[in-house]
Structure 1
């Protein structure tokens, strides 16, 4: 019988970290972090890798402890008023192989207290990339609407930061003007802790990623990338 990758112990650790977000506590509980958070996520990434390659050969699932798909637990506090040293969530980003060179879409998994988030798409693309995506939507609105319908629409909500008005150079009366106002093109799906702790979660996550392939393919092609 398949065994769950994630257990309530992961969320228990994150709950306690939320109340004790300081280096002394984290160092005292580092073995718990490694056993209950890091190792389960790295195991998930390892097992997800062949599934991801079956969806697209252009995204990466790397289980390296440093520089892989899993985000580091440390926060970058240089420009933040909140100096809490650690993230109170555990996340992994399955990036496009070109992501180091250009803005590119991918898949995301985030585990935090009382919420599990599945994300897909491209977050905060630069101005030229954003223009390419908008131009692709204007050039082929039917293809765009097809990509965000069906299984994708059943499982994800497209949202993100949005301009108040139509972007400069685009028709404010365009039927998809609300979409063109988006500054992020990301699909979100919220799940629960209980969902993540199921033995079937890796299958469920894979199915969600599969539903998002047409969405990511559209974004990739608009940026001149394969998917």
Structure 2
């Protein structure tokens, strides 16, 4: 198996140009750059990360393919006011197979022409998911706060919060989680040169392992959610 050696500036430039040109003929004319400088390194990155990710969860989808662990560059514009044909960013995920992928807690890494992100969370969690998450916080707040100690630099908690607190005068350490509409923790960096280097997999593995306590907590929420109701 070939090793990941880094993304290329040509690949990053392609992401920007494809979005600006917004042209299928242009895309097809330059497809070799997409295949060799984006899809290929993403596949190699997934393959290199897979052994360590399976130690976190043996049920992860790990096939290094578009639509499995690697995002599509083509946008579905059928129900969108934005008719841009192509995304200006690509990403990979490690998550359990789920009929509604937006509902699955996922590790992710994303690149754009000038920045990158990586972390853990939901793309768009449901109200049911967040209700169970909040119930678990209240059921054992001490255990929850112990778990949150894994969310430290370089990661930060993100996600839209309710304008009004759901519980008045709640401990701030709890409230910052409890009042979220969606949960994700991530690193966002403009040091795009980091993704051009072969040590990127080591950086990602280190960060993903740091967040294992949070991942295990979110998986528990999923298990509770999937308990059949009588």
Q: Structure 2 length normalisation: TM-score?
A: 0.87
The question of whether the paired residues in 1 share the 8 Å contact of 2:119 and 2:207 is answered with no
Counterpart in the other structure of 2:161: 162
* 1: CA distance, partners of 2:90 / 2:100: 25
Counterpart in the other structure of 2:168: 172
Counterpart in the other structure of 1:20: 21
Unpaired stretches in structure 2, ≥5 consecutive residues: 225-230
* 2: CA distance, partners of 1:120 / 1:105: 7
The question of whether the paired residues in 2 share the 8 Å contact of 1:11 and 1:193 is answered with no
1:154 aligned counterpart, secondary structure: coil
Q: CA deviation at 1:111?
A: 0.6
Q: CA deviation at 1:43?
A: 1.3
2:187 aligned counterpart, secondary structure: strand
* 2: CA distance, partners of 1:216 / 1:189: 16
Counterpart in the other structure of 1:210: 209
How many residues matched? 218
Counterpart in the other structure of 1:219: 218
Change beyond 3 A, Cα 1:94–1:3: closer
Change beyond 3 A, Cα 1:62–1:3: closer
Q: CA deviation at 1:144?
A: 2.1
2:223 aligned counterpart, secondary structure: coil
1:76 aligned counterpart, secondary structure: coil
The question of whether the paired residues in 1 share the 8 Å contact of 2:90 and 2:112 is answered with yes
Counterpart in the other structure of 2:126: 126
The question of whether the paired residues in 1 share the 8 Å contact of 2:4 and 2:48 is answered with no
2:40 aligned counterpart, secondary structure: helix
Answering whether residue 52 of structure 2 is matched by residue 54 of structure 1, we say: no
Query: What RMSD in Å do the two structures reach over aligned CA positions?
Result: 1.9
Q: CA deviation at 1:162?
A: 1.2
* 1: CA distance, partners of 2:123 / 2:205: 20
Show CA shifts across 1:146-196 (max 9, x none): 22224x3122111101111234xxx32222233211011100101332111
* 2: CA distance, partners of 1:3 / 1:46: 9
Q: CA deviation at 1:3?
A: 5.5
Counterpart in the other structure of 1:148: 148
